[in-house]
Amino acid sequence: MTGRLYPWNFGGVGNVQYHLTSSLSRFSDLDLTLLGTIPFGCKIPQIYPSNLHLCAFQTPGENDSLPDVLFSNLFYTTLVTHSHDFDIIHLNIMPGLRAGTFFQLVKRMQRNSKLVLNLHDIPEEVELYSPDRLHVILSKLNFTVGTRHLSYFDSVVVNSLFVRSRYSSISHSAKIQVIPNGIDASLFRFRNTNEKHNVRSEILSYGNITPKKGGEILIRAFAKSDVASKAYTLTFIGKDIGGYSTKLAKLAKMLGVDDHVLILKAMPRNELLSRILECSFTVFPSLWEGFGIAVLEAMALGKPVIATCVGGPSDFINDGIDGYLINPRDVDRLARLLDLLSSDPDLRDTVGEKRH
């Protein structure tokens, strides 16, 4: 199995990888190897099972950066093709040159191995991580090469109906099957959502602070609504990608709501869960999302959610019943929903309680 080793709990990809390896390691007759990369200077967290063969390679740059992709391609293919035969090779990555080159090399060297590809997002995602036009062109080429190989894998797994529809239109592969992501319910058992919490007048949006997550749309909707006049705070929590938090702060100041917008760095898991419990409701205005594990977490904690109808949220949110769905970039509807939920605590309780 190939995947991200650091940080292991980085979004849905890392969580799926960790829980999958943990579950498979319980079978004593299964020889399981996990291949992965970590940035220079980082340590692998001691959370993986002791009977798991762990092969790590340090790369320059952060996860999914161009250096990381290039070096990990070389590392994965070299290690796999020069080691013993694997019955199954599971690529826990997105498609592209990595999947394409890996497929060609492995099939040449290990003809009996079954190849499984796990796709966590859709091609459009790469266009949002860089304003550099050349980078966008190279990224599109990367995905074009990868998608041409989808039909050659023995199995292709995606995490939502939305992702399957996008790849099916590209590759016409009948092998694409949906296995949704999930959450560890034990993380929420000790938090009785029926207990009274010190609820803040706060709207919370958490996850990577990147253009893909739609922070600009949320700030514009916040400024257009009457929420700020009700002493509400809009809070972003997450890892800043490419200095995007600075752009959000500038937009909030330009729209005159900077006194009501708070941008915080990523925090430890327990602190984040407590912060979710204490907020009034959550918003995830992503331009697109493969699955949206953060949305599922907020719902599990009994919080009303507003999310865009692209990706996993459209699979598990019943609009107007246990949450709200909006179209990407729909500032007007988002502003109306902010006003609606901020002014009606009984409605927030009702929506939150119907999360199941």
Average pLDDT for residues 222-230, to the nearest whole number? 92
Instruction: Assess whether the previous peptide bond of 95 is cis (omega < 30° from 0).
Output: no
Could you tell me if 256 and 335 lie in one domain? Answer: yes
Residue 32 banded pLDDT, cuts 50, 70, 90: confident
Could you tell me if 201 and 218 lie in one domain? Answer: yes
Could you tell me if 159 and 224 lie in one domain? Answer: no
Helix, strand, or coil here: 213?
A: helix
Q: Which two tokens stand for residue 328?
A: 């990407």
**Domains identified in the chain, total number:** 2
pLDDT of residue 276: 93
Of 14-18, 122-126, 236-240, the range with the lowest mean pLDDT is 122-126
Could you tell me if 236 and 160 lie in one domain? Answer: no
pLDDT digits (tens, 9 = 90+) for 123-179: 655 444 455 566 667 666 766 766 777 777 888 888 888 888 877 776 665 678 898
Beta bridge partners of 202: 233
Could you tell me if 167 and 193 lie in one domain? Answer: no
pLDDT of residue 223: 96
Residue 22 banded pLDDT, cuts 50, 70, 90: confident
Could you tell me if 100 and 230 lie in one domain? Answer: no
Could you tell me if 208 and 336 lie in one domain? Answer: yes
Nearest C-alpha neighbor of 209 from the set 266, 163, 167? 266
Nearest C-alpha neighbor of 61 from the set 53, 52, 71, 51? 71
Could you tell me if 263 and 162 lie in one domain? Answer: no
Cα–Cα distance between 218 and 29 in angstroms, integer? 50
pTM of the entire structure?
Answer: 0.83
- Mean pLDDT for all residues in the chain: 80
Cα–Cα distance between 215 and 42 in angstroms, integer? 29
Of 82-91, 199-208, 330-339, the range with the lowest mean pLDDT is 82-91
Cα–Cα distance between 323 and 113 in angstroms, integer? 43
Residue at a domain's end among 150, 178, 206: 178
pLDDT of residue 190: 46
Is the model's pLDDT at 244 over the cut of 60? Answer: yes
- Give percent of the chain above pLDDT 90: 32
Neighbouring CB atoms inside 10 A of 326's CB total 25
Could you tell me if 156 and 196 lie in one domain? Answer: no
Nearest C-alpha neighbor of 91 from the set 25, 150, 166, 29? 150
Tell me if 56 sits within 8 A of 44, measured CB to CB: yes
- CATH classification at residue 92: 3.40.50.2000
Structural domain containing residue 160: 2-178
Cα–Cα distance between 220 and 251 in angstroms, integer? 8
Could you tell me if 173 and 194 lie in one domain? Answer: no
Could you tell me if 71 and 150 lie in one domain? Answer: yes
Residue at a domain's end among 161, 178, 195: 178
145 vs 344: which has the higher pLDDT = 344
Could you tell me if 58 and 202 lie in one domain? Answer: no
Cα–Cα distance between 57 and 353 in angstroms, integer? 45
- Give percent of the chain above pLDDT 70: 71
Residue at a domain's end among 128, 160, 178: 178
φ, ψ for residue 67 (rounded to 5)? -60, -40
